[in-house]
């Protein structure tokens, strides 16, 4: 597919994150492996092309911490996570809490609120007017197959339904950037298809919509992402592991001609290469 | 496995009707033992004596004494929960955390020794009774509520942060609104403490009546059938309050079963 690379949407500059004496992340977004997500635009195509970025790595490499930094929930020890300034074009600012949507692994929702109540509240937080929010919530409920569940409560929803409510909540809070922490974890085949469809829906809504997700399923990552970052540990000259996870590889599937294509043998080959890289960087 | 064997095997699931039958059978055995198993020379009253006393109490206005006790408990719970909630919710603010921890530890202390100061401060009477119950129960409420707030999963808070809520909005949404059923559960679990206090608190001013006042009088006169009858009344009041609160808690959406 013919596309052009436009402005930077999310970039990380020399990010370090430490908790007390323990280094969690080290030098993420350096010159060797820059962490930059660009706005992509299809040429000669009216469809929207949102960005889908996968972050893979073994457990303990720092993916969850990276997500908390990307969403502004924690501040880095040094370095920056930058997003476009809302009101000043071509300017960037450090990400603050609430500026990036975060769909967490267990899709936490309110214990005592109905679906429609949660989504209406999300509209209020996204500063959507009362008159517009009724129609908008109804539209999302219909589009995402939740209209019949609108008066149900969290414990009455299936896992897939809860996930969709969690996603719509973040979308209604006017988030173009959304981070998903292990969205495929523990899902059956049907639910995985639902999540993939959700990602497609989000990406198709707006060009600057950007999804960043983590997964242990490398095959899934190569199938749906257009950019993959591998997080792991580097080794020094003596072969010892250097404390603090970092980006050890960046795979641009667009340049490889593998993005936006159905899963094929080339994807499998790439998946195997990434697995090998992850094992070396463990 | 036969039913008899299952009834005496750990972790076996039996029908609710079977459980009800077991309970009925056990109560029947208890009543029979209570009536016929007690020696004539014993001070321990028989079941029929307790029932006679209960009938007498009822004819002498027991209902109004129960109402008086419930009114005292109700007032104390409402004031206690409001004060305890405010204190417990303030534990989310770092400045107040040490204060909340200190207040929570005061539940280990009896209230004796402070009665004179409370009498002076409240002017005595019903106000003193309410104050004593509020103060005593609040330490337990604060402990339980602070523990609930402490156990709020970080992901609940992160979700609200990602929804652009400020910290005060998160406190209201997550700690207060989303956990109201826990508040009722705290009350339900601490009702027994309140009922235990009833006797000593109502004994201070018997002119207001109440079950506690009646028990104090009966105890002084060593009227054991009457004491046991009143104990039975307190037991039934406790069960009823517990059942009522359980029902109220089950009305919360979080307890509604998933519809297929």
Can you tell me the distance from the alpha carbon of A55 to that of A249, in angstroms, rounded to the nearest whole number?
10
pLDDT at residue B75 tops 50: yes
The reported pLDDT for the residue numbered B106 is 86
Higher-pLDDT residue of B92 and A191 is: B92
User: Checking phi first, is residue A96 left (phi over 0); if not, alpha (psi -120 to 50) or beta?
Assistant: beta
Cβ of A101 under 8 Å from any chain B Cβ?
yes
Q: Tell me: the pLDDT tens digits for A83-133?
A: 988 888 888 999 999 899 999 988 999 999 999 999 999 999 999 999 999
Give the tokens for residue B62. 């027991």
Contacts of B165 in chain A (CB under 8 A): 98, 125
Query: Above 70 in pLDDT, residue A46?
Result: no
Three-state secondary structure call for residue B151: coil
CATH architecture of A3-95+216-280: 3-Layer(aba) Sandwich (3.40)
Q: Does position B259 have pLDDT exceeding 50, yes or no?
A: no
pLDDT band at B260 (very low <50, low <70, confident <90, very high): very low
Q: What is the ipTM of this complex?
A: 0.88
Sign, Cα dihedral of B36, B37, B39, B43:
negative
Q: What is the pTM of this model?
A: 0.84
What is the band of B22 on the pLDDT scale with cuts at 50, 70, 90? Answer: very high
Please report the pLDDT score of residue B110 as a whole number: 78
Residue A51 burial class via C-beta count within 10 angstroms: exposed 0-12, middle 13-18, buried 19 and up: buried
Judge: A111–B155 Cβ closer than 8 Å, yes or no: no
Quick one: tokens of B161? 């942060």
Find tokens 């770092």 and name the residue: B94
Res. A173: pLDDT tops 90: no
A242 to each of A76, A236, B77, how far by Cα in Å? Answer: 19, 6, 58
Cα B120 versus chain centre, distance: 28
The per-residue pLDDT of chain B, averaged, comes to 91
The ranges assigned to domains in chain A are 3-95+216-280
DSSP state of A235: B
pLDDT band at B117 (very low <50, low <70, confident <90, very high): confident
Contact between residue A79 and residue A23 where contact means Cβ atoms under 8 Å apart: no
Q: How far is CA A82 from the centre of its chain?
A: 15
Q: Band of the pLDDT at A53, cuts 50, 70, 90? A: very high
Bridging pattern class, strands A35-42 and A3-19: antiparallel
Q: Which helix (H) or strand (E) holds A276?
A: helix A265-280
Nearest chain A CA: its distance from B149 CA (Å): 14
| A interface test, pick of B151, B161, B164 with most A CB neighbours within 10 Å | B164
A183-190 mean pLDDT: 84
Chain B residue with the nearest C-alpha to that of A68: B158
Closest CA to A132 of A140, A277, B10, A274: A140
- Grade residue A39 by pLDDT with cuts at 50, 70 and 90: confident
The residue written with tokens 């020379």 in the block is: B41
Per the CB < 8 Å rule, is A170 touching B155?
Answer: no
Contacts A–B by Cβ distance under 8 A: 81
Tell whether A152 lies on the interface with B, counting CB pairs under 8 A: yes
* Selection from A169, A158, A153 nearest residue A113 by Cα: A153
Residue A112 to residue B173, Cβ atoms within 8 A: no
- What residue spans define the domains of chain B? 62-255
Closest CA to A248 of A67, A27, A36, A82: A27
Nearest-CA neighbor of B125 among B54, B208, B220, B232?
A: B208
| Average pLDDT taken over every residue of chain A | 90
pLDDT given for residue A160 in this prediction: 86
Dihedral angle, C-alpha A174, A180, A181, A184, nearest 10 °: 140
Q: Can you read off the two tokens belonging to residue B5?
A: 């064997």
Among the ranges given (A11-20, A33-42, B27-36, B169-178), the one the predictor scored with the smallest mean pLDDT: A33-42
Q: Is the pLDDT of residue B234 over 70?
A: yes
Per-residue pLDDT tens for B169-221? 999 999 999 999 999 999 999 888 888 888 888 988 888 889 999 998 888 88
Instruction: Work out whether the CA dihedral A128, A130, A132, A133 comes out positive or negative.
Output: positive
What percent of chain A has a predicted confidence (pLDDT) above 70?
Answer: 98
Compute the distance between CA of residue B172 and CA of residue B184 in angstroms, rounded to an integer: 17
Residue B31's SS3 state is: helix
Chain A positions touching B158 (Cβ under 8 A) are: 68, 71, 73, 102, 104
- CATH of region B62-255, choose from 3.80.30.10, 3.40.50.300, 3.50.50.60, 1.10.3720.10: 1.10.3720.10
Place of tokens 């001070």: B43
Please name the residue of chain A whose CA is at the shortest distance from the CA of residue B169. Answer: A125
> Tens digits of per-residue pLDDT, B131-177?
989 998 899 999 999 999 999 999 999 999 999 999 999 999 999 99
Contact A94, A138 (CB under 8 A): no
pLDDT surpassing 60 at residue B228? yes
Q: Among all residues of chain B, which has the CA nearest to that of A109? A: B156
pLDDT at B258: 55
């Amino acid at each position: 597919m013919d596309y052009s690379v436009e402005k930077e949407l999310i970039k990380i500059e020399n990010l370090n994150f430490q908790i007390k004496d323990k280094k969690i992340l080290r030098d993420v977004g350096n010159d060797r492996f820059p962490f930059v997500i660009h706005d992509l635009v299809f040429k000669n195509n009216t469809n929207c092309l949102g960005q889908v970025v996968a972050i893979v790595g073994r457990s303990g490499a720092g993916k969850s911490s990276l997500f908390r930094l990307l969403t502004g929930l924690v501040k880095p020890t040094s370095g920056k996570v930058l997003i476009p300034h809302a009101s000043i074009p071509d300017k960037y600012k450090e990400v603050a809490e609430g500026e990036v949507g975060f769909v967490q692994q267990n899709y936490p929702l309110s214990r005592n609120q109905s679906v429609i109540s949660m989504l209406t509240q999300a509209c209020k937080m996204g500063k959507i007017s009362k008159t517009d929010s009724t129609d908008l919530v109804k539209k999302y409920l219909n589009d995402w197959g939740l209209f019949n569940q609108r008066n149900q409560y969290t414990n009455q929803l299936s896992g897939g339904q809860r996930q969709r409510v969690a996603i719509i909540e973040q979308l209604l809070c006017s988030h173009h950037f959304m981070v998903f922490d292990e969205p495929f974890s523990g899902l059956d085949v049907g639910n995985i298809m639902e999540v993939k469809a959700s990602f497609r829906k989000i990406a198709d809504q707006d060009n600057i919509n950007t999804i960043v997700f983590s997964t242990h399923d490398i095959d899934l990552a190569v199938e749906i992402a257009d950019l993959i970052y591998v997080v792991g540990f580097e080794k020094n000259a003596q072969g010892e592991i250097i404390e603090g996870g970092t980006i050890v590889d960046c795979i641009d599937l667009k340049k490889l001609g593998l993005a936006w294509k159905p899963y094929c043998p080339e994807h499998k080959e790439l998946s195997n290469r990434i697995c090998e890289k992850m094992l070396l960087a463990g | 496995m036969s039913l008899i064997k299952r009834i005496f095997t750990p972790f076996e699931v039996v029908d609710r009707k079977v459980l009800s039958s077991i309970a009925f059978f056990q109560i029947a055995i208890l009543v029979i033992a209570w009536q016929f198993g007690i020696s004539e020379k014993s001070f321990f009253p028989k079941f029929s004596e307790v029932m006679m006393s209960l009938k007498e109490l009822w004819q002498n206005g027991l209902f109004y004494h129960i109402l008086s006790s419930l009114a005292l408990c109700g007032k104390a719970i409402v004031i206690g929960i409001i004060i305890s909630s405010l204190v417990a919710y303030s534990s989310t603010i770092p400045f107040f955390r040490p204060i909340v921890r200190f207040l929570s530890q005061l539940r280990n202390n009896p209230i004796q020794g402070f009665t004179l100061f409370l009498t002076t401060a409240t002017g005595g009477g019903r106000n003193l009774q309410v104050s004593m119950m509020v103060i005593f129960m609040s330490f337990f409420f604060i402990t339980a509520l602070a523990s609930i707030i402490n156990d709020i999963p970080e992901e609940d808070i992160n979700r609200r942060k990602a929804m652009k809520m400020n910290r005060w909005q998160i406190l209201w949404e997550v700690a207060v609104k989303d956990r109201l059923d826990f508040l009722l559960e705290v009350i339900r679990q601490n009702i027994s403490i309140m009922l235990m206090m009833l006797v000593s608190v109502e004994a201070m001013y018997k002119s207001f009546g109440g079950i506690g006042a009646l028990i104090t009088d009966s105890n002084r006169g060593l009227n054991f059938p009457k004491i046991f009858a009143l104990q039975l009344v307190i037991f039934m009041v406790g069960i009823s309050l517990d059942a009522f609160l359980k029902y109220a808690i089950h009305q919360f959406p979080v307890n509604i079963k998933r519809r297929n």
